[in-house]
Amino acid sequence: MHVAEKGEGPLILFLHGFPDLWYSWRHQITALAALGYRALAPDLRGYGGTDAPDSVSDYTCFHVVGDLIVLLDAVAPEDKVFVVGHDWGAIIAWDLCLFRPDRVKALFNLSVPFIPYNPRFKPVETWKAFFGNDHYIVRFQEPGVMEAEFAEIGVGRAVLDLLSYRVPDPLLLPKGNLFGHPPDAPVDLPPWMSQQDADYYATQFEKTGITGALNYYRNFDRNWELSAPWWKSEIKVPVKFVMGDLDLVYTMPGMKDYIHKGGFKRDVPLLEEALVIEGVTHWIHLEIPDQINQLMFHFFSKFH
């Protein structure tokens, strides 16, 4: 497991999303280390410098949370730690809190709220019913298919297109027209991504491929099945949740009602706040890093 680390003090474990790396947390690592924390940001299994098992079945929620427990046992064996997640990292952070609340002091989560197990809604078929066969989660399911299509335009290029997606609409990836523009057109990088940042991401994914990252999506239904024992369980750690109102997750069917009308608070009773920031997209910690760092510091400082 490749881990980026900086600072001394109470430990904060940062969990990145898709298609991301430890590098996503560069602004938070520097800022929180300067404020007296020990920031720890791994590449999750299948990403960057961390091992990538071959089998799709090696990327379940249990495998990934297991990696984190082994990491915590190595760096902070006796301690509860602060946890920060974004996107897939947020999903994994919820699982960590659900499975091992004894290891988490408090959670600051971004973009993806806790989605509890529901026996009536199998994830992939639910997304397919709402959004059709071109929805990115549906398209990612079949091993090898998206790898081949991304390879046609270059996997580094595909990752940059994904990281540059910043509208609140569902991400659709129709075959032969993946991102809605010619493959030789320059990527419209967001203002928070420099060319140096883009080169780092592209180089890393060209080196490792993207199969490990896609395998998380290929376990959505399996994770749903594995989560059945936690039906109607609550998240029992203190939480602050933040997302942008232009996040594609926020505009998913039923999400606004769940967040604002009591469902989220019911399932996460120690939720201090669910803050939705206007004019901000899915990449919130990159788009407004100073504001996120201040919110994080203010929240974690309550637990010293």
Catalytic residues: 87, 217, 282
Torsion 75-78-83-89 (CA) sign = positive
Whether the Cβ atoms of residue 114 and residue 46 lie closer than 8 Å to each other? no
Radius of gyration for the chain, computed over Cα atoms and rounded to the nearest angstrom: 18
Q: Are 15 and 110 in contact (CB under 8 A)?
A: no
Residue 264 · residue 230 · CB < 8 Å: no
Contact of 46 with 113, CB cutoff 8 Å: no
- Determine how many CB atoms are found less than 10 A away from the CB of residue 33: 17
Spatial separation of the C-alpha atoms in residues 234 and 230, rounded to whole Å:
8
Burial group, residue 70, by CB count within 10 angstroms (0-12, 13-18, 19+) = exposed
Centre a 10 Å sphere on the Cβ of residue 295 and count the other Cβ atoms it contains: 18
287 closest CA partner among 171, 190, 194: 190
